Amino acid sequence: MAERRGDIELRYNATALDYILLLPLFGKMFLAVVARLLIRPFSKRPKPRTLLKDVVFTILRTFLGGVNVAQDTLFSISTADGYASFVKKNKLPATETVLGSGLKAFWFGPKSADKIVLFFHGGGYAKAASPGHFAWLHDLQKDLAAKGHSVSVFLPAYEVTTDRPSPKGRYPIQLQQAAESLAWLIEKEHKKPSDIIVAGDSAGGHMTISLLSHLLHPHPAATKITLAEPLASAILISPWNKLFPSPSSMDTYKQTSDMIIPSAGQRWSSMYLGLQEEDSYNNPHIAPPEWFGGLEGQVRDVLVWGGGGEAIITTIVNFSEKLKTAHPKVELVVQPGAAHDDPIIEKLLGYKEKHEGTRVIEAWIGERL
């Protein structure tokens, strides 16, 4: 019998019925788009700035709200396969590093670069890095290099909850792999902490926070890291910092301008924790402010970016305020109207114009290189 966490059945193997039930869900997605197109011109609720994003977000909200755990695992491609496809399509060099545990990490830019952005991708801990991640990271490295900066991006292909054989990707494996990745850069690639920027989007932002918690309070299951000096910076892009979101904890009024819904957060949180208890490492929302005391000794400064149209923007703002009580150099940037993970989502959807959030992040990194 499959495990259960509350109302969530942690069953990973799809049955014939799971496949069959996708058919009416696809029909529901179509009807949701039709309804949204009819309502959009008259709706006074927040909406994405373009029709394309409105349609895509409607599809995603309907899909994410209609699948179970087993169905969620059917739509996956590994980070390794995605990276290989991206570099082949764009005629880029494929540079891979295999860490001591067997964890693979991929590079954008030369390994010999002076500065490194250690980046943890988002996806609710259930999804691998998307083509949008690869395109965004490639452009970030390329544009910074064009300005004369010697910088590369290091992207670990950390374990996610939809990896096979299931169940995989459960806490604390991501924290273990985050710590291993940072330790590898320092010990094997001989990078100074002051030359490393740690960053992540959504669940990758959560992973970055967990790593900072580990630096402050070494987790017994992860590699202990004693930094000789603070990291150059940490960047949290739409950080998922509250597990098991409920409608009351989300700005549900803004769900029409976003793609995130409470039921998806509940499912992904359950897949991530299994039957384990919440703690300050895996759920930063419940960590007291004093948990982050001493953060200034681990990282020089922190940028938190959020979209004003995000359904989780209140938790992002509240968490940044918590960090500010422990570190004097925490900067929060909220871009009006932007959705969750908007800079990377726009890259995924093929937008050519550089997102304002990307400009902010690129400038922040450039000032620290």
CA distance 234 to 321: 15
Domain presence at residue 12: no
| Residues 6 or more apart whose Cβ sits within 8 Å of residue 93 | 87
SS3 state of residue 1: coil
Whole-number pLDDT of residue 116:
98
Count of the separate structural domains present in the chain: 2
Whole-number pLDDT of residue 253:
67
**Amino acid residing at 342:** D
Q: For residue 213, how far is the Cα from the chain centroid? A: 17
Contact 275, 5 (CB under 8 A): yes
Q: Domain range for residue 130?
A: 77-367
Please report the sign of the dihedral spanned by the C-alpha atoms of residue 9, residue 11, residue 14, residue 16: negative
Task: Extract the tokens encoding 144.
Answer: 């910074």
| pLDDT by 10s per residue, the chain, length 369 | 789 998 999 999 999 999 999 999 999 999 999 999 999 999 989 999 899 999 999 999 999 999 999 999 998 889 999 999 999 999 999 999 999 999 999 999 999 999 999 999 999 999 999 999 999 999 999 999 999 999 999 999 999 999 988 788 999 999 999 999 999 999 999 999 999 999 999 999 999 999 999 999 999 999 999 999 999 999 999 999 999 998 877 876 677 899 999 999 999 999 999 999 999 999 999 999 999 999 999 999 999 999 999 999 999 999 999 999 999 999 999 999 999 999 999 999 999 999 999 999 999 999 998
- From the list 348, 315, 312, 12, the residue with the least C-alpha distance to 160 is 12
Same structural domain, 31 and 123: no
Same structural domain, 197 and 60: no
Domain presence at residue 51: yes
Whole-number pLDDT of residue 179:
99
Same structural domain, 253 and 359: yes
| Residues 6 or more apart whose Cβ sits within 8 Å of residue 225 | 179, 182, 183, 186, 214, 215, 218
Same structural domain, 137 and 173: yes
CA distance 65 to 71: 11
Domain presence at residue 157: yes
H or E stretch covering 115: strand 115-120
